[in-house]
């Protein structure tokens, strides 16, 4: 579950992490007035996807051009999501920008503190081109960030240890107490007067923990109208849909298989349009709905279904696929293995699908079909 920037900053302030001063606006007129009140300000689109800056969703405005800029930004659609709100923030006198986050690391199965003196840019690009600029510390969840870890990060960033430690400790409290998978500040800025301020904020909460996070559940309900419609439809069925920017629609069961499938697609030279995780125990109906939802993405040229039969039986999967093929006008690649796999293969015999024997083969075939 993703939170808007303005919602993340409200939480930051509750945990004593300083943020830039801002006003949430729902009309260009409100945004124009806010810019006038600040004299000069940043207008930032509030959408639950990344890439706002590249899409023109963030701009500096003056009282003279605020109305024009606010109208333009609120007329944007960013990665399929219309801009319904903007955050107008007072300009900050910046001395230096940093990156700071705590994210769940699947390899160590621990929270991972990530910091860099290259803030305000795409951290993945920094990791690719200048990995030496990124510093990481694995955090013991039973104790939180240790003093020596905080000192090392402060030295790497050339920041006052006490100043940075306060921000990191509070960031970790958010991560831990709200069941987050990611808490990110990019950029964290050092101002000319020596303060640290979160100029941007991102919080992702574990969907599986919402049952014990009443405040986060309330925010999820509030944000439903701001989500990708396909994601909302999937969530109502107990499934997880994540939109991406490629052309191969992916249906899997399990996050690990999803990541492996995406990696194989990338290695084969393709890009995924999404991944749809139907999760364990899905029946033919839910598999069929997953097929329909994934295929309805206009960017999807090929459907790749890569599923393992455990709690989800292969014959149920095959029935769900076969029952929805008549609705599709794109090729379908299926890799099916596990419980009742022979029954599943029999059901798909004669159906208009391409059956692959491995994830690598399925990815390669799907990429070729999408080309």
pLDDT-based confidence at 229, cuts 50/70/90? confident
Q: What percent of the chain has pLDDT over 70?
A: 100
As a whole number of angstroms, the distance between CA 139 and CA 109 comes to 10
Instruction: Please tell me which residue in 99, 172, 175, 220 is annotated as part of the active site.
Output: 99
pLDDT at 84 over 80: yes
pLDDT at 38: 95
pLDDT at 126: 85
pLDDT at 280: 78
pLDDT-based confidence at 101, cuts 50/70/90? very high
Residues whose CB is less than 8 angstroms from the CB of residue 326 and which lie 6 or more positions away in sequence, other chains included:
none
pLDDT at 99: 96
Mean pLDDT (the chain, rounded): 94
Using one digit for the tens of pLDDT, what is the confidence trace for 154-168? Answer: 999 999 999 999 999
* Dihedral, 112, 116, 119, 122 alpha carbons, nearest 10: -60
Using one digit for the tens of pLDDT, what is the confidence trace for 329-371? Answer: 999 999 999 999 999 999 999 888 999 999 999 999 999 999 8
pLDDT-based confidence at 176, cuts 50/70/90? very high
pLDDT at 243: 87
pLDDT at 225 over 90: no
Give the pLDDT mean for 303-330: 92
Handedness of CA 193, 194, 200, 205 (dihedral sign): negative
As a whole number of angstroms, the distance between CA 28 and CA 209 comes to 36
Q: Is 99 a catalytic residue?
A: yes
pLDDT-based confidence at 110, cuts 50/70/90? very high
pLDDT at 121: 78
Domains parsed from the chain with CATH numbers: 22-90 (3.30.1490.20), 94-218 (3.30.470.20), 229-370 (3.40.50.261)
pLDDT at 207: 86
Instruction: Please tell me which residue in 5, 89, 137, 184 is annotated as part of the active site.
Output: 184
pLDDT at 188: 97
pLDDT at 131: 87
Give the pLDDT mean for 78-107: 94
pLDDT at 214: 94
Q: What percent of the chain has pLDDT over 90?
A: 80
Report the predicted TM-score, pTM, of the whole model to 2 decimal places: 0.81
Q: Would you state the structure tokens that stand for residue 305, as one six-digit string?
A: 């279904």
pLDDT-based confidence at 51, cuts 50/70/90? confident
């Amino acid at each position: 579950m993703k939170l808007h920037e303005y919602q993340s900053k409200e939480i930051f302030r509750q945990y004593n992490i300083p943020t830039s001063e801002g006003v949430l606006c729902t009309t260009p007129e409100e945004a124009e007035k806010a810019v006038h009140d600040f004299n000069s300000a940043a207008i930032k689109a509030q959408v639950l996807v990344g890439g706002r800056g590249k899409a023109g969703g963030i701009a500096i405005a003056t009282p003279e051009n605020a109305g024009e800029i606010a109208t333009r930004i609120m007329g944007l659609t960013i990665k399929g999501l219309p801009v319904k709100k903007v955050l107008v923030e007072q300009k900050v006198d910046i001395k230096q920008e940093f990156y700071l986050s705590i994210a769940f690391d699947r390899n160590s199965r621990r929270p991972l503190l990530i910091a860099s003196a290259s803030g305000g840019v795409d951290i993945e690009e920094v990791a690719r081109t200048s990995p030496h600029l990124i510093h990481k510390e694995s955090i013991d969840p039973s104790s939180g960030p240790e003093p020596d870890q905080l000192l090392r990060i402060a030295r790497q960033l050339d920041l006052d240890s006490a100043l940075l430690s306060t921000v990191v400790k509070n960031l970790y409290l958010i991560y831990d107490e709200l069941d987050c998978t990611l808490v990110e500040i990019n950029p964290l800025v050092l101002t000319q007067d020596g303060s640290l301020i979160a100029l941007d904020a991102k919080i992702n909460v574990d969907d599986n923990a919402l049952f014990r996070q009443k405040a986060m559940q309330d925010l999820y309900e509030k944000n439903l109208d701001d989500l990708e419609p396909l994601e909302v439809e999937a969530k109502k069925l107990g499934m997880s849909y994540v939109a991406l920017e490629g052309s191969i629609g992916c249906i899997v069961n399990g996050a690990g298989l999803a990541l492996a499938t995406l990696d194989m697609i990338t290695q084969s030279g393709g890009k995924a349009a999404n991944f749809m995780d139907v999760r364990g125990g899905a029946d033919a109906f839910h598999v069929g709905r997953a097929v329909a939802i994934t295929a309805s993405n206009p960017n999807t040229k090929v459907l790749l279904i890569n599923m393992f039969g455990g709690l989800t039986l292969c014959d149920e999967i095959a029935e769900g696929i076969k029952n929805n093929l008549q609705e599709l006008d794109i090729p379908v690649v299926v890799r099916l293995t596990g419980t009742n796999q022979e029954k599943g293969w029999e059901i798909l015999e004669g159906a208009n699908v391409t059956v692959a024997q491995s994830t690598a083969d399925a990815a390669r075939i799907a990429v070729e079909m999408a080309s």
